[in-house]
Amino acid sequence: FHDTSVIPDGAEISSYLFRDTPKRYFFVVEEDNTPLAVTVTPCDAPLEWKLSVQELPEEASGEGSEPLEQQKQQITSEEGTELFSYKGNDVEYFVSSSSPSGLYQLDLLSTEKDTHFKVYATTTPESDQPYPELPYDPRIDVTSLGRTTVTLAWKPSPTASLLKQPIQYCIVINKEHNFKSLCAVEAKLSSDDAFMMAPKPGLDFSPFDFAHFGFPADNNSGKERGFLKPSKFGRQTSSKPRVDLHKVCIGNKNIFTVSDLKPDTQYYFDMFAVNTNTNMSTAYVGTFARTKEEAKQKTVELKDGKVTDVFIKRKGAKFLRFAPVSSHQKVTFSVHSCLDAVQIQVRRDGKLLLSQSVEGVRQFQLRGKAKAKYLVRLKGSKKGASMLKILATTRPNKQSFPSLPEDTRIKAFDKLRTCSSVTVAWLGTQERNKFCIYKREVDDNYNEEQKKREQNQCLGPDTRKKSDKVLCKYFHSQNIQKAVTTETIRGLQPGKSYLLDVYVIGHGGHSVKYQSKLVKTRKFC
């Protein structure tokens, strides 16, 4: 057996089991008719454990460590009388008001995985009471339920109300299951790094070295209400995705509102009474609840030929309605997605006509129908919030957005770079449009990530400084292969980086930005 240890009387120890590697602990009761309580808390895996007793040799006494070591060597090989055994992941205990003297031995085994556990043994259970007592009704009540909030209430622990011991309550929220112990919660919260630090079999280590086992020492006594903010909970680890589990300790209140939850989502709530003197805890009976659904979306009315700005929250959706006044043969929907791609669905009187992903500027022409009503559903990106502009019209010549080539990149010619100029090219279309080019000096460490953040295509030249403007020009070509223009930007500083932007401006004054281009002038010429 690795790490055969003596359990101290009246102190909880935290330790670690390797899978399929049994561990044995000893505990001495020196006199007959002694009360005895042993509590075993599995943390993140079921345990098999049994408690047995053997007679102490006649000459044995509990004085000094030497006799006990000899006793252990004498009887480690013997099997004692089994008093109790358990298999599972509940916090389980053996209690006896009158136990014989002897060497008690606790054998533990985890067959599922490497795991943490805690053990507490005492011969004075009446006076110790290290674990907070549960009230006669240990359930958590859900007293109110909203779309993003749940209010919980519970009866106080008699340890706090009657014995006046310092008790604080810790609430744990997650979407998977209820927890049976606070140490199971802490094992889950610190699973990313705790197992990396677990001792190797055969090495000596102190069972009292709590930090070694990944048990957080801090009493996270946050008083926040709206607490599902990622920065306040658990440990941020870069290597693995964060555990979707939140723990908040709220002092000795008996009611708490959990906020910042997601609508129409099932959450599991656990509550632990923690004795702040001993840091030992007892679990109330956990509960679960489903938050209410999101309120029905308001529908925005689209006016014929008028551009409407739409903002969609991350993973959100918006509904728009278009009801043309006059009879019409065709309807044109023009969509300009400012950031990431958005999903568009169009239904005419309930029938699905269009379902597409839109990046940049897209135009859809649909067949009309007398007195028809169109419902547009726009679904945002998973990456972040979406912004877009949408125009619906029954007049085909009413085109507000400029036409764009398929490729909206700006190409820079490396061989034509000088110390004071760069030469670039971009594509146009068969339609005559106005193009304006702007420049901005940036730091040398300006990177793709920063460029991405500035990729809002809907921000027009009107948001730029006048000094950034290089020039504006009109161009187009009936031959789409030849619809390309080049421009040399002069008056730049040697060895400097610049961000270049090209805006194409439509007849209605609406502009679309091409993809920004980072260029650098030569340092030496």
**Alpha-carbon span 458 to 168, nearest angstrom:** 52
Reading the block at residue 327, the tokens are 């009879």
* Residue 473, pLDDT score: 93
Q: In this model, does residue 198 exceed pLDDT 50?
A: no
* Three-state SS at 29: strand
508 and 421 part of one domain: yes
* Long-range contacts of 354-362, Cβ-Cβ distance < 8 Å, separation of 24 or more: 358/388, 360/336, 360/404, 360/408, 360/457, 360/512, 361/334, 361/335, 361/336, 361/337, 361/401, 361/402, 361/403, 361/404, 361/512, 362/334, 362/335, 362/337
Domain membership flag for residue 444: yes
Percent of residues, the chain, with pLDDT higher than 90: 45
Q: In this model, does residue 452 exceed pLDDT 80?
A: no
121 and 34 part of one domain: yes
Q: What number of helices (H) and strands (E) belong to the chain?
A: 6, 32
Which residue, of 295, 317, 334, is where some domain finishes? 295
* Three-state SS at 476: coil
Which residue, of 128, 143, 161, is where some domain finishes? 128
Q: Exposure of 240 by Cβ count < 10 A (0-12 exposed, 13-18 middle, 19+ buried)?
A: exposed
Domain membership flag for residue 217: no
Q: Are 311 and 385 in contact (CB under 8 A)?
A: yes
Which residue, of 295, 328, 361, is where some domain finishes? 295
* Residue 340, pLDDT score: 80
* Three-state SS at 414: helix
- With bands split at pLDDT 50, 70 and 90, how would you rate the model's confidence at 453? low
184 and 107 part of one domain: no
178 and 288 part of one domain: yes
Domain membership flag for residue 225: no
Parallel, antiparallel or unpaired: strands 299-301 and 317-322:
parallel
**Average pLDDT estimate for 466-478:** 91
**Alpha-carbon span 394 to 305, nearest angstrom:** 8
Least confident of 198-207, 249-258, 316-325, 430-439: 198-207
* Residue 220, pLDDT score: 42
**Alpha-carbon span 485 to 481, nearest angstrom:** 11
Domain membership flag for residue 238: no
CATH number of the domain to which 446 belongs = 2.60.40.10
Domain membership flag for residue 67: no
String of DSSP letters for 165-222: --EEEEEEEESS---S-HHHHHHHHTHHHHTTSPPPTT----TT-GGGGT---S----
39 and 21 part of one domain: yes
CATH number of the domain to which 321 belongs = 2.60.120.680
**Alpha-carbon span 127 to 101, nearest angstrom:** 20
155 and 259 part of one domain: yes
93 and 144 part of one domain: no
- With bands split at pLDDT 50, 70 and 90, how would you rate the model's confidence at 213? very low
In tens, the pLDDT along 374-431 reads 999 999 888 888 889 899 998 866 667 888 888 889 999 999 999 999 999 999 988 8
450 and 332 part of one domain: no
pTM of the model: 0.49
Q: In this model, does residue 450 exceed pLDDT 60?
A: yes
Q: Are 21 and 112 in contact (CB under 8 A)?
A: no
Reading the block at residue 453, the tokens are 């953040």
Least confident of 124-138, 286-300, 394-408, 458-472: 394-408
Domain membership flag for residue 320: yes
- With bands split at pLDDT 50, 70 and 90, how would you rate the model's confidence at 225? very low
Q: Are 433 and 491 in contact (CB under 8 A)?
A: no
Containing structural domain, residue 123: 11-56+80-128
- With bands split at pLDDT 50, 70 and 90, how would you rate the model's confidence at 64? very low
- With bands split at pLDDT 50, 70 and 90, how would you rate the model's confidence at 78? low
The rounded mean pLDDT for the chain is 82
Question: Cβ contacts of residue 518 below 8 Å, gap of 6+?
Answer: 442, 446, 451, 497, 498, 499, 500
Task: Report which of residues 200 and 359 the model is more confident about.
Answer: 359
User: Phi first, then psi: what are they for 419, rounded to 5°?
Assistant: -75, -20
Domain membership flag for residue 120: yes
* Residue 40, pLDDT score: 94
Percent of residues, the chain, with pLDDT higher than 70: 82
Number of domains in the chain: 4
346 and 450 part of one domain: no
Q: What is the per-residue burial (b if ≥16 Cβ within 10 Å, else e) of 145-169?
A: eeebbbbbebbbbbbbeeeebebbb
Paired strand residues for 455? none
Task: Report which of residues 297 and 92 the model is more confident about.
Answer: 92
Q: In this model, does residue 200 exceed pLDDT 70?
A: no
* Three-state SS at 357: strand
Q: In this model, does residue 137 exceed pLDDT 50?
A: yes
149 and 291 part of one domain: yes
* Residue 145, pLDDT score: 93
**Alpha-carbon span 122 to 11, nearest angstrom:** 8
356 and 470 part of one domain: no
Instruction: Please report where in the chains the tokens 């006016």 appear, as a residue.
Output: 303
Distances (CA, A) of 327 to 302, 320, 371: 16, 20, 7
Which DSSP category does 418 fall into?
A: -
Task: Report which of residues 126 and 297 the model is more confident about.
Answer: 126
117 and 171 part of one domain: no
Domain membership flag for residue 61: no
Question: Cβ contacts of residue 263 below 8 Å, gap of 6+?
Answer: 147, 148, 291, 292, 293, 294
In tens, the pLDDT along 15-30 reads 989 999 999 999 889 8
In tens, the pLDDT along 230-271 reads 333 433 434 444 568 899 999 989 999 999 999 999 999 999
